Amino acid sequence: MAGLNIRRAGVLLHATSLPSAYGIGDLGRGACDFADFLSQAKASCWQLLPLTPTLPIGGHSPYSSLSAFAGNTMLISPDLLQREDLLATADLATLPPFPDGLVDFSAVIPFKERILERAWDTFSRARKGEDAFKAFCAEHASWLDDFALFKVLRNRYKDKAWNTWDAEVRDRKTDALERVRREVSGLIEREKYYQYLFYTQWSALKRCCNEKGIQLIGDIPIYVNYDSADVWANPHLFKLDQQKRPTHVAGVPPDYFSSTGQLWGNPVYRWDMLRERKFDWWIQRMAHTLSLFDLVRVDHFRGLVAFWEVPAGERTAVNGRWVDVPAAEFFTALKGRFPELPIIAEDLGIITDDVREIMDRFGFPGMRVLLFAFGEDNPRHPYLPHNYTPVSVAYTGTHDNNTVRGWIRREAGAEEKRRLFRYLGREVGSDLLSTELIRLLMMSVAGTVIIPMQDLLGLGEEARMNRPGVARGNWTWRLRKGQLTAHAAGAFAEMASLYGRA
- Give the single-character DSSP code of 120: H
DSSP 409: I
Cα–Cα distance, 26 to 201 (Å, whole number): 9
Q: Examine the residue annotation and report whether 280 is marked as an active-site residue of this protein.
A: no
10 Å CB burial of residue 175 (0-12, 13-18, 19+) is: exposed
Pairing of strands 248-252, 306-311: antiparallel
User: Which residue among 299, 309, 347, 455 is the active-site one?
Assistant: 299
Write the DSSP assignment of 49-104 as a string of letters: ---SPP-GGGTT-TTS-S-SS---GGG--HHHHHHTTSS-GGGGTS---PPTTB--
**Cα–Cα distance for residue pair 74/282, rounded to 1 Å:** 26
Residue 227 dihedral angles phi and psi, to the nearest 5°: -85, 75
**Structural element, H or E, at residue 414:** helix 414-424
159 annotated active-site = no
Residue 434's identity, in one-letter code, is S
Measured between its terminal Cα atoms, the distance across the chain in Å is 18
Helix axes 486-498, 29-40, angle to 10 degrees: 40
Contacts for 326 with CB less than 8 Å, ≥ 6 apart: 271, 275
Cβ-based neighbours of 217, under 8 Å, separated by 6 or more = 10, 45, 46, 47, 48, 293, 294, 295, 296, 297, 344, 450
User: How many C-beta atoms surround the C-beta of residue 303 within 10 A?
Assistant: 23
H-state helical runs in 140-268: 141-156, 167-170, 174-183, 185-211, 229-233
Residue 118, sorted as left (phi over 0), alpha (psi -120 to 50) or beta, turns out to be alpha
**Looking at the DSSP assignment, which residues form a beta bridge with residue 249?**
267, 310
Say whether 265 sits in a helix, a strand or coil.
strand
CA distance 190 to 147: 12
Question: Looking at 146, 230, 346, 455, which residue is catalytic?
Answer: 346
- Which of 79, 171, 329, 400 is catalytic? The answer is 400
Of 435, 431, 430, nearest in space to 492 by CA: 435
**Cα dist. 228→146, 232, 470 in Å?**
10, 6, 23
Backbone dihedral region for residue 368 (phi beyond 0: left; psi -120 to 50: alpha; all else: beta): beta
What phi and psi values does residue 293 have, to the nearest 5 degrees? -130, 160
455: annotated active-site residue: no
User: What HEC string does 347-399 produce?
Assistant: CCCCCCHHHHHHHHHHCCCEEEEHHHCCCCCCCCCCCCHHHCCCCEEEECCCC
Catalytic residue IDs = 299, 346, 400
